[in-house]
Amino acid sequence: MEFKDIAAVSGKPGLYKVLKPSRSGVILESLDDKKSKLVVGAAQRVSLLSEISIYTLTEEGAAPLKDILHKIENEFEGDTGLEGADNDEYKAFLKHVLPEYDEERVYASDIKKLLNWYHILRKEQPELLQPQPEEGKEKSDEDKKEEKGE
């Protein structure tokens, strides 16, 4: 599974696996223990994780969600220590992970949602948070040997 296969639905908590398009919209399956299915029509806003980014003050203007989630995983490995935190602690956390984020356009509720998604992915799809080999880059003989356990 990839970030383009996971969606967030406006007004609904959690994340959803994109199963397939239907006549009236798209069929989604929740990424939790219930695995409930949901048909989302055109009236509801569905965002693929691969298309979501966070506003920054850089020239690009935004940082992809995928990159931020990988940074969080590399540094914190699941232990963000923000259970019961206040808004200032959430903002300080994101400032640590993404120093150039736009504090005027990114709200504490956005950071809470980011962390909620991170924990869902870490539990249900941990392989998404692992560093991926760069596209177009051939694996070295050493990498191939490591995969085979030699």
Phi, psi (degrees; rounded to nearest 5) at 29: -130, 130
Q: Token digits for 122?
A: 């870490």
Phi, psi (degrees; rounded to nearest 5) at 115: -70, -35
Q: Token digits for 110?
A: 């956005």
DSSP E strand boundaries for the chain: 6-9, 16-22, 25-30, 37-41, 46-48, 53-55, 62-64
pLDDT in tens, 1-33: 788 888 898 888 889 999 888 788 888 988 887
In a domain, residue 135? The reply is no
Contacts of 103 (CB under 8 A, 6+ apart): 91, 95
Say whether both 25 and 58 belong to one domain: no
pTM, entire model:
0.78
In a domain, residue 43? The reply is yes
Residue 140 pLDDT more than 60? no
Q: What is the pLDDT of residue 95?
A: 92
In a domain, residue 140? The reply is no
Per-residue pLDDT averaged across 116-130, rounded?
A: 86
Say whether both 44 and 13 belong to one domain: yes
